[in-house]
C-alpha cells in the first residue's frame, strides 16, 4: 500500500474515532460530510455548548465594568432649596468654583424677609477665618417680600456701627456709596455681593451690576453684617450660614 494512502486511511480512522468520542449528540461522521461542512458542523456544536457559558461570564463582567465606571464619576452636589428658594450648589467667581457653605432665613418679627446663601472656596464653620482669608466669597440674598431701599440703607448703617465701630472715614464713605446702589427690591429679586480677592466687591441689584467697591476692608465690614460678631439678622442666622448645627 502506498504511504500516502496509508496516511489518509489512518487519518480518517483517527478522525472517526475522535468524532465518535465527542460528547456532543448529532455530530455527523466526517465520511458523510465534506471537510468544510464538517468543520462548520463542529463549530455549531461548540457554539451551542460554549455560548451559554460565555453569556454567563459576560453579564457579571459587564456589571463590574458599569460599577467601575460609576465609581469613577464625580457626584455633582444637588442644588439647595430652602423656604422655596433654590440656590445652586456652586458658583464661579473669577475662574474659581465656590461652594455653598450654608443658607439662612432672615425674619423680621413674624415676617420672612429673605433667604441668604454664602459661597466660599471651601466649606468652613469659622467666620473669623473666613473674614481673615483674602479669598473670593459671595453672598446671595433672595427676597421673599418687597423691601424699600431706605430700609436696606438703615441695615447697612447698623451693621457698620455694631461690627466695625472704629470704621475709618474712607470705609464710612464706601458704605454711603453702597447705599447709593440700593433700589426698592421686589419679591423673588436678588442682591448679590461678590468679593474678588485683590479687586473689590461687586454689587448686583436685581440682576444689574451697580459697581465695584474696592478693598478687603470694605468686603470684611460688609460680610460682618451677616457673619460678624453682631450680625443684624442674629447669631442663629450667622450659624446657619456657617453650617453650625445648634
Domains defined along the chain, listed by start: 3-72 (no CATH), 80-241 (3.50.70.10)
Please indicate whether residue 44 or residue 122 has the higher confidence score (pLDDT). Answer: 122
Q: What is the pLDDT of residue 153?
A: 97
Q: What is the pLDDT of residue 38?
A: 47
Residue 64 has pLDDT above 90, yes or no: no
Contact between 226 and 242 (Cβ < 8 Å)? no
Q: What is the pLDDT of residue 5?
A: 44
Give me the mean pLDDT over the 186-207 stretch: 97
Q: What is the pLDDT of residue 159?
A: 96
> How are strands ordered across the β-sheet holding 137-143?
90-93, 96-108, 111-120, 137-143, 190-196, 200-205, 208-214
pLDDT digits (tens, 9 = 90+) for 153-162: 999 999 999 9
Could you tell me the pLDDT band of residue 163, with boundaries at 50, 70 and 90?
Answer: very high
Could you tell me the pLDDT band of residue 245, with boundaries at 50, 70 and 90?
Answer: confident
Please indicate whether residue 223 or residue 75 has the higher confidence score (pLDDT). Answer: 223
Q: Are strands 190-196 and 200-205 parallel, antiparallel or unpaired?
A: antiparallel
Residue 204 has pLDDT above 80, yes or no: yes
Could you tell me the pLDDT band of residue 95, with boundaries at 50, 70 and 90?
Answer: very high
Could you tell me the pLDDT band of residue 48, with boundaries at 50, 70 and 90?
Answer: low
Could you tell me the pLDDT band of residue 164, with boundaries at 50, 70 and 90?
Answer: very high
Residue 69 has pLDDT above 80, yes or no: no
Give me the mean pLDDT over the 48-58 stretch: 49
Q: What is the pLDDT of residue 23?
A: 46
Q: Where are the beta strands (DSSP E) in 49-89?
A: 80-82, 85-87
What does the mean pLDDT of the chain come to? 81
CA 48-52-54 angle, 5° bins: 110
Q: What is the pLDDT of residue 165?
A: 94
Give me the mean pLDDT over the 23-48 stretch: 48
Q: What is the pLDDT of residue 212?
A: 98
Please indicate whether residue 198 or residue 78 has the higher confidence score (pLDDT). Answer: 198
pLDDT digits (tens, 9 = 90+) for 220-232: 999 999 999 999 9
Contact between 79 and 86 (Cβ < 8 Å)? yes
Amino acid at each position: 500500500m502506498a504511504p500516502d494512502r496509508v496516511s489518509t486511511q489512518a487519518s480518517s480512522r483517527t478522525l472517526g474515532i475522535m468524532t465518535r468520542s465527542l460528547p456532543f449528540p448529532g455530530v455527523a461522521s466526517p465520511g458523510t460530510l465534506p471537510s468544510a461542512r464538517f468543520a462548520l458542523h463542529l463549530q455549531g456544536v461548540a457554539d451551542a455548548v460554549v455560548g451559554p457559558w460565555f453569556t454567563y461570564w459576560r453579564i457579571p463582567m459587564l456589571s463590574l465594568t458599569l460599577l467601575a465606571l460609576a465609581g469613577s464619576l464625580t457626584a455633582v452636589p444637588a442644588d439647595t432649596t430652602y423656604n422655596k428658594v433654590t440656590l445652586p450648589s456652586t458658583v464661579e467667581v473669577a475662574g474659581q468654583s465656590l461652594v455653598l457653605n450654608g443658607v439662612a432665613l432672615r425674619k423680621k418679627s413674624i415676617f420672612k424677609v429673605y433667604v441668604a446663601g454664602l459661597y466660599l472656596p471651601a466649606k468652613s464653620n469659622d467666620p473669623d477665618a473666613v473674614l481673615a482669608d483674602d479669598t473670593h466669597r459671595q453672598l446671595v440674598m433672595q427676597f421673599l417680600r418687597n423691601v424699600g431701599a431706605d430700609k436696606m440703607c438703615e441695615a447697612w448703617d447698623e451693621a457698620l456701627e455694631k461690627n466695625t465701630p472704629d470704621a475709618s472715614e474712607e470705609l464710612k464713605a464706601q458704605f454711603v456709596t453702597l447705599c447709593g446702589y440700593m433700589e426698592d427690591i421686589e419679591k423673588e429679586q436678588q442682591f448679590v455681593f461678590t468679593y474678588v480677592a485683590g479687586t473689590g466687591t461687586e454689587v448686583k441689584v436685581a440682576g444689574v451690576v451697580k459697581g465695584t467697591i474696592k478693598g478687603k476692608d470694605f468686603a470684611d465690614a460688609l460680610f460682618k453684617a451677616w457673619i460678624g460678631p453682631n450680625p443684624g439678622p442674629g447669631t442663629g442666622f450667622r450659624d446657619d450660614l456657617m453650617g453650625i448645627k445648634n
